[in-house]
Structure 1
Amino acid sequence: MKRNLPIFGVLAILLVAIAMANPFFVEAEGFLAFVKRAAPLAILAAGQYFVIVSGEFDLSVGSLVTAEVVIAARLIDGDSGATWPVLLLLLAVGALVGAVNGLVTTLLRVPSFIVTLGSLLILSGAVFLWSGGSPRGALSEEFRRFGRGTLGPVPWSVLVLAVVVVAVIALMRSDFGRTLMAAGDNPVAAGLSGVRVRRVKTMAFVLSGLSAAVCAILLGGFAGVSAKVGEGLEFQAITAVVLGGVVLGGGRGSAVAAIAGAFTLQALFTLLNLHGISGALEFTVQGVILIAAVALGSVQLPRRAKSAPTTA
C-alpha cells in the first residue's frame, strides 16, 4: 500500500497546479472535461496492467486502437443502423488479437515483447494497406456519442471509465487476480501449486485487447477518424502503469495505482499545454518518467528482499 501512495500525492500536486493555472478546472464542468480526456488512456492502462503484472508486455495496443477506429469508420460509413453490430465486432476483434498474442506467447514461448511488436507492425501495415494512408467512411452520431456525448452533465466516457474501474477492482480481488499475481511473481512455483499459468496469462492479453477496443470506441467519438489516432498510446499506457508503481517483471502492483498513473500522465501533459510548452516534448517526458520509475523500483526491491525475514 505504501508503494502506491506517491503516485496519488504527485497527482494531487499536478491537479492543484492545473487549477492555479486555469481556475475553470475547479468547476465540475472543467474537471469532468479533464476526466473525459484521460478516460481512454486510463482504460488502456488498466488493460496493460493485467499484462505487465503477469510478467509480460503488450506493444500492440496502439496499432490495435488505430485499426479499430479505421474498421469502424469503413463499416459504419455514417449508417446509424450499423453502430451496435460494429461495436460488438470491435470488442470481438480486440479479444481475438489479445488471444492470439497470448497463445503465441504462452504456447510457442515467444517473448511477448517480440510477439506484440510483430502484432504492432502487422496491424499498422494492414491499416495502411486497407486505407491507403487515408481512412475512408465515417462514424455515426450514435457511435460518436460514447466519446463526446453526455448523460445529463456527465460524459459517457466518464461513466464507461467508472464501469471499467469497478470491473478491474472486482477482477483483481477475485481468484483470477490472485492467480494472475502468482503467475507474474513466480510462474514455476505458481504452476506447481496448481495455477494454469498459460491460461491466466492468455486471459491477461485478452483483457488488454478488450481495453484497446473500448479505448478506440471512446477516441473515435472524441478525436474522430485518423490513421494515427492510436500512435504512441502503447508507450503512454506502459509509462502510466510503471508510474503507478507496478513492477516490470510481474507479481507486484495495484490496478488503481496504474489507473492513477494514467491520470497523472494526462495531468502533466495538460499542465505543459497550459504553460505553452510544445507537445513534441511529450515523448521526452514519457521517456524520463519511464526510466526514473523503473530505476526507483529496482532500487527499492533489493532493499525489501534484504530486509525480509528468512525462514528455516
Structure 2
Amino acid sequence: MTWRPRLADGTAPVLVVLAVLLVALAVTGPAYAEPAGYLALLKRAAPLVLLAIGQYFVIASGGFDLSVGSLVTAEVVIAARLVEGDDANTAWVIALLLCFGVLVGLVNGLITTKLLVPSFIVTLGMLLVLDGAVFLWTGGAPRGALSPSFRVFGRGGFDVPVLGQVPWSVLVLLAALVGAALFMRGGTGRTLLAVGDNDTAVRLAGGRVDLLRVVAFVLSGLLAAVAAILLAGFAGVSAQVGTGLEFRAITAVVLGGVVLGGGRGSVVAAAAGALTLEALFSLLNLLGVSGALETAVQGLIIIAAVAYAARGGGSRRVLRPRRSDPVTP
C-alpha cells in the first residue's frame, strides 16, 4: 500500500481575515492610504513571518521549536559584539550567524530524534541555555554596534516605480516564502507532512523520518538567523529583542490553520497567519488598545485553535491518540 499524506490547505480563511484587517487599517490609519504604509507593515512583519515559516516546518513534522526567540536574541548580541560598527566585518559575521542558526537547529533535531527527548523539552532547554549564555556574556547590557552595511538589510530598500521604496526585508521574505512553498510542493515536503500525520506509516513505507525531522529543525534555525539579521537592522541591539517571538511564531502558525501535532496545513497559510497577527496588532495600536493585550490575544488564539482541532473541527485530533494508528511497526 502506498502512503499518501492527507493534505489540508486551510489558506482561504486566514486570507479573508487578513483582507478584512488590511481594509480596516486603510480606514483607520491615514498612513495606509498609500502603498508605502503596507510596505512598512511587511517590513515590520518580515522577521515574524520568517520565524513562522521555520516554525511551520517543525510543527508540520510533529514537533515544536521554542528556542527561536532566544536564538534571535543571541544572534543579535553576537552580531553587535563581532561587527563593532565596522563594515569590513559584515559579510563574515552574517555567514557566521547563519551557520550558528543551522548548528542550533541541528542540535535540537539530533537530540529530539536520536535521544528520543520530546522536542518541547529539548527546545525549552535550548531556550534556557541561550538565554543564560547571553546574560552571562553581556550582563544584561549588550556591547558593540552594528555597521551601516549590516543594518541595510533591515532598514534599507530599493526604488520601484509607483510603489516607491521597497524594503530589502520584503524581498528576502518573498524569496524565503517562494522557496518554502516550492519545497513543500516537492516529494520531500509532502513526506515531511506525512511524518507529522503518521510517522509509523512513513517508516513502514521506507521514509527517513529522523532525517526529515532534523531537516525541519535546521530550516527553523536557519530562518531564525535570517529573521535576527533583519530584526537587528530594523530595531537595533537589545538583550530582549527576541523575547516572546517563539510564542508569536506558534500563534501565527495556528492562526494560519496549521494543526498542532503535525500533518496538516500550508506554509503559505502559516506566513499569512504571521502577517495577519502583525496587522491585528497594528490595528489595535491605531485604536489605542493597550499593547499588554497582545499576549492575551496570542493565548486565546492558541487555545481556540487546539480546542477546535481536538473537537474534530480540524483534520486531526491533536490532544488524543488515534486508535487507527499502529502502536508498533
Fold match, TM over 0.5?
A: yes
Q: Secondary structure at the match of 1:78?
A: coil
Q: Does residue 279 in structure 1 map to residue 291 in structure 2?
A: yes
For residues 1-312 of structure 1, the aligned pairs below 5 Å read: 3-152=10-159, 153-301=165-313
Give the Cα–Cα distance (whole angstroms) in 2 for the partners of residues 225 and 12 of structure 1: 33
Gaps of 5+ in 1: none
1:268-297 deviation per Cα after TM superposition (whole angstroms, max 9, x unaligned): 100110011111111111001111122122
Give the Cα–Cα distance (whole angstroms) in 1 for the partners of residues 229 and 314 of structure 2: 41
Give the Cα–Cα distance (whole angstroms) in 1 for the partners of residues 14 and 35 of structure 2: 23
Question: Does the Cα contact within 8 Å between 1:80 and 1:140 map onto a contact in 2?
Answer: yes
Give the Cα–Cα distance (whole angstroms) in 1 for the partners of residues 189 and 47 of structure 2: 23
Q: Secondary structure at the match of 1:282?
A: helix
Give the Cα–Cα distance (whole angstroms) in 1 for the partners of residues 122 and 48 of structure 2: 22
Give the Cα–Cα distance (whole angstroms) in 1 for the partners of residues 101 and 169 of structure 2: 19
1:164-188 deviation per Cα after TM superposition (whole angstroms, max 9, x unaligned): 0111011101121011011111111
Q: Which amino acid aligns with 1:206?
A: V
Give the Cα–Cα distance (whole angstroms) in 2 for the partners of residues 237 and 68 of structure 1: 17
Q: Which moved more, 1:177-186 or 1:115-124?
A: 177-186
Q: Which runs of 4+ in 1 moved over 6 A?
A: 302-305
Give the Cα–Cα distance (whole angstroms) in 1 for the partners of residues 279 and 308 of structure 2: 21
Question: What is the TM-score with the length of structure 1 in the denominator?
Answer: 0.95
**CA apart distance, 1:303:** 7.8
Identity rate, percent: 65
**CA apart distance, 1:55:** 0.2
Give the Cα–Cα distance (whole angstroms) in 2 for the partners of residues 225 and 102 of structure 1: 28
Question: Does the Cα contact within 8 Å between 1:58 and 1:116 map onto a contact in 2?
Answer: yes
Higher helix share: 1
Relative to structure 1, is the Cα distance of residues 215 and 109 closer, same or farther in structure 2, using a 3 angstrom cutoff?
same
Give the Cα–Cα distance (whole angstroms) in 1 for the partners of residues 139 and 170 of structure 2: 34
Gaps of 5+ in 2: 1-7, 160-164, 318-323, 325-329
Q: Which moved more, 1:284-293 or 1:89-98?
A: 284-293
Question: Does the Cα contact within 8 Å between 1:245 and 1:297 map onto a contact in 2?
Answer: no
How many residue pairs were aligned?
Answer: 306
Question: Does the Cα contact within 8 Å between 2:310 and 2:316 map onto a contact in 1?
Answer: no
1:136-186 deviation per Cα after TM superposition (whole angstroms, max 9, x unaligned): 000000000000101121100000001001110111011210110111111
**CA apart distance, 1:4:** 2.5
Give the Cα–Cα distance (whole angstroms) in 1 for the partners of residues 64 and 124 of structure 2: 9
Question: What is the TM-score with the length of structure 2 in the denominator?
Answer: 0.91
CA RMSD of aligned residues (A): 1.5
